[in-house]
Amino acid sequence: MQYDAIYHHSVTEPEAFWAAQAGAISWFQAPQQILSQDDQGFYRWFAGGMLNTCYLALDQQVAEGRGDQVAIYYDSPVTQSFEQYTYQDLLSATARFAGVLRNLGVEKGDRVIIYMPMIPQVMVAMLACARIGAVHSVVFGGFAAHELALRIDDAKPKVLLTASAGVEFDRIIPYAPIVAAGIEEAHHKIEKVVLFQRWFKQVDVEAFGFLDWAQLNAQAQPIDCVPVAATDPLYILYTSGTTGKPKGIVRDNGGHAVALRFSMQYIYGVKPGDVFWAASDVGWVVGHSYITYAPLITGCSTVLYEGKPVRTPDAGAFWRVIDDYKVNVFFTAPTGFRALRKEDPDGLLKQKYNIESLRLLFLAGERCDVATLEWARALLGIPVIDHWWQTESGWPMLANPAGIELFPIKPGSAGKPVPGFNIHILDEGGHELPNGSEGAVAVKLPLPPGCLPTLWGNPDRFRAGYLDPFPGYYFSGDGGYKDAEGYVYITGRMDDVINVAGHRLSTAEMEEIVAAHPDVAECAVVGIEEALKGQQPVGFVVLKSGTHISDADLESDLVKMVREKIGPIACFRRAVVVKRLPKTRSGKILRKIMRNMADGKDFAPPSTIEDITVLDEMRDLMGELHIGVAFR
């Protein structure tokens, strides 16, 4: 089989395999070492190589004759804005905005935070940073000021780029006050803030002490690409950690470009000129990899969609976009299709559109339930491919590789290991488990190109969180098992990070916020299965003695506190008062058992449990309040 040969080569001779793949991109200077280790002992790819990611995405495409091809289809049903940018248009806009950054004193290696909605300017900003060797860090526009402040203090940016507003369905979200509050809270002081004015929300930039995007752009001159080392950082992307403090995932330039180019051809089965649509947000890794960089490096047209699968205006929104732009390959989260299935269970709205251009549908970002996958497959009549990866990996780790050979699809499995990822299922002692046995999903080192080489400014945390749990392996944090044919099934996180509508969020951070309420003695926030979003955080709270607050008022307070500190994206809407929490004798709260109980999964009470009756109390309470799938 073709896959078997390619995969075997990738894991037995990784240097030879990736040296060949590196030939698919253009280098200013060829790599001197394909695989090496840095002074921390971490693996690095393509040391000595010089390139520029923006050059690969834009300049090279124009030079090869794609100047008049559409690079971006911008589709914003929430603002009724629809635009097309050719590769030449995007190159011109990016080169000029690179001049804006240079005029603001941004140089190679400086950090730039981007807090913007899904508009073309966000891609211009990312590519302009890459053009001059600056390191961008995109912060999702739905995050609250506190989350922005945490990222400012960690990345220490010189400049912040924002817009006047975002849109959530029909609700306008002003960004300037959030940015101002985040800057005020942060200890690190940003030198300049540049704001792009949207037509429906104008901001007095002088009142905020910001600079106007259009004015600066008019005064700037285009800038050429700056050569950077393959091992230089392209961006930092923050993801939730179990401590509540976000982790800055570093992405390098060389390995990232090679891996994404490989993935487009071999996993997604696309070629230059195809239309590729990842219905995500640039605030997440999918938006970095498969809205911005991979499609452009490959010479595809990418869709930048500012809207939702439903209510923009209806559950036919996805089909309308596919029809309008003749999308060939579509990538979204299972949450999106669960929403479609709920609103339009018979798929009647699809009949209004011609989606014959669509060859493949890929689903990722969270575990895809079998019912949703089967519904999508029956509705579309094309391969529907569940696959698995992480912010840390930057590209798929498990998939059904459409560009190599399509296997029979097994609903519930995320496919087989992608070439380069030597995936094992390990027990607690680091020993390989037999097929069918659930354990920790780990990848034998070295990780392939494109994966994180370290955490920003914190190599010790990188080593402790990812490498130390299983020496010689990268620990994914997920559990799973393999079957006899090599398919891998991901069963969920093994830590306190939950997945809400494809977004990784820390329950530890939510617990810190809940615990700060003056009437709360202790608490546990648990991610419980939910039909639409995958998981939903629920807070279990023990009150201080002598407290007289009502359950309803407490829940209202806590929901507001989490929303203010993290943002509405947390989807924290339920807080339940309990007499006590189930714990071990040493005081550790049994969160996993609480989660399994609510989800209707088997669990064995540990021998160290403080009091077995507390589990009975918790089960009775969940049943009484209909919390979790097991009690609905």
Buried b (16+ CB within 10 A) or exposed e, 464-502: ebbbebbeebbbbbbbbbbeeebbbbbebbbbbbbbbbb
Q: What is the pLDDT of residue 12?
A: 98
Structure tokens at 427: 């027990």
- Who has greater pLDDT, 111 or 596? 111
Q: Looking at residues 321-329, what average pLDDT do you find?
A: 98
- Who has greater pLDDT, 521 or 386? 386
Q: Rounded distance, CA 63 to CA 88, Å? A: 10
> Among residues 576, 609, 575, 580, which one has the least CA distance to residue 593?
609
pLDDT > 80? residue 607: no
pLDDT > 90? residue 226: yes
Q: What is the pLDDT of residue 592?
A: 80
**Range with lowest mean pLDDT among 388-392, 480-484, 595-599:** 595-599
Residues 6+ apart with CB under 8 A from 380: 355, 358, 361
pTM score, two decimals? 0.84
Mean pLDDT of the chain: 92
Q: What is the pLDDT of residue 495?
A: 65
Q: Rounded distance, CA 434 to CA 227, Å? A: 47
Q: Looking at residues 212-232, what average pLDDT do you find?
A: 98
Strand order through the sheet with 275-278:
81-86, 70-76, 301-305, 275-278, 329-332, 360-363, 384-386
**Range with lowest mean pLDDT among 116-120, 239-243, 519-523, 595-599:** 239-243
Q: What is the pLDDT of residue 587?
A: 57
Q: Rounded distance, CA 304 to CA 123, Å? A: 9
Q: What is the pLDDT of residue 327?
A: 98
Q: Which CATH number fits domain 505-631: 3.20.20.80, 1.10.1270.20, 3.30.300.30, 3.90.1150.10?
A: 3.30.300.30
DSSP state of 466: I
Q: Looking at residues 161-183, what average pLDDT do you find?
A: 95
